[in-house]
Amino acid sequence: MIMKPTMLNLICVSVSLIVLVLVFTGKSDAKVKETLVGAWLFDGNAKDASGNGKDGTLENGPKWAAGKFGQALEFNGGKKSYVNVGNLDLKGPVTLVFWAKPADAKPDDRLISNINGPAVPAFTIRFAPPKVEIWSSSWIPIIEKFDDNKWGHYAFVFKETGGGKEDVTGYYNGKEGLTVQDNYAFTDIGIGAHFIGQWGQYFTGLLDDVAFFDVMLTAADIKGVMNKGLKTSLAVSSAGKLATSWGGLKAQY
C-alpha cells in the first residue's frame, strides 16, 4: 500500500530543512562572533561591539550620518577627523572588514592606518584611484577598482606564510581581488587617519561596520557579514537560535 504524505510528514520535512539551514548559518555567525578583536558599528557611538573594550575615541569631530546599516560616521579629511581605537594587539592571521563611501576620493586618501610606530614594517590602506593599495614596505595594489561616491564593502585577509611574511588578499563587494605579500605590523589603529601622523591624507566620506578578526575569514564568511551587517551577525547564537526556532515551530503544531 502506498502511503500518501500527511500534513505532519510535510511539516517534519520542512522543519528539518530549516534546522539544516540554521545549523550552517549559525556556524558561520558563531565564527564571526567568537573571533572578533574589535567591531565599531558607529550607531550613534564609537563603542566596541565585540565586548572586548576597544572603544574608539572620536578626534576632530567626525559626524553621525545615515549609514549602510543604521548610522555611520562622516569624516572630513580637511579637518583631520578620525577614530582612535588604540592597540588591538593583532598578531597571526587577521581579517579587516568595513563599508566605505568615499567622497571624491583623491590619490593618497587613507582609509585605516597605524597612527604611530615605525614606517617599515607597518600597515596603512589608501585610495589610488581607481585602485586601492596597501603598504608595509612599499605600495602594492590589492583591489583593482572601486566605485567612488558609492558604498562599497572592503575586506583584507592576512595569512602568515613564514619568514615574517604575510599574504594579504583583498575583497571588494564580496569579490576576491589581488593577493600580495609583505611583512605587516599593526600598532595603534586610526580609522580614517593618515599614516603615523605624517603621511597621506585623512579620509573624506562615510565609514560603517568596521571590524578586525583574529582569524582568516572565508569568502563565504565575508559575504555573510557584507549582506547581513555586523550587528545581525553578532546577534546570532547558533545554539540559542536553533533551540528557539525548533521550539517555536513545534509549538505551532
Q: pLDDT tens across 72-114, in order?
A: 999 999 999 999 999 998 988 999 999 999 999 999 999 999 9
Question: How confident is the model over 194-244, as pLDDT tens digits?
Answer: 999 899 999 999 999 999 999 999 999 999 999 999 999 887 533 333 222
The CATH number of residue 40's host domain is: 2.60.120.200
Q: Is residue 110 part of a domain?
A: yes
In tens, the pLDDT along 164-182 reads 889 999 999 999 999 999 9
Based on the structure, what is the number of domains in the chain? Answer: 1
**What are the respective helix, strand and coil percentages of the chain, to the nearest 5?**
25, 40, 40
Residue 6 located in a structural domain: no
Question: Quick check: is 243 in a domain?
Answer: no
Structural domain boundaries enclosing 103: 34-235
d(Cα 24, Cα 20) in Å, to the nearest integer?
7
In a domain, 55, yes or no: yes
Per the domain annotation, does 14 fall within a domain? no
**CA atoms of 96 and 11, how far apart (whole Å):** 41
Give domain status of residue 120, yes or no.
Answer: yes
pTM (whole model) above 0.85: no
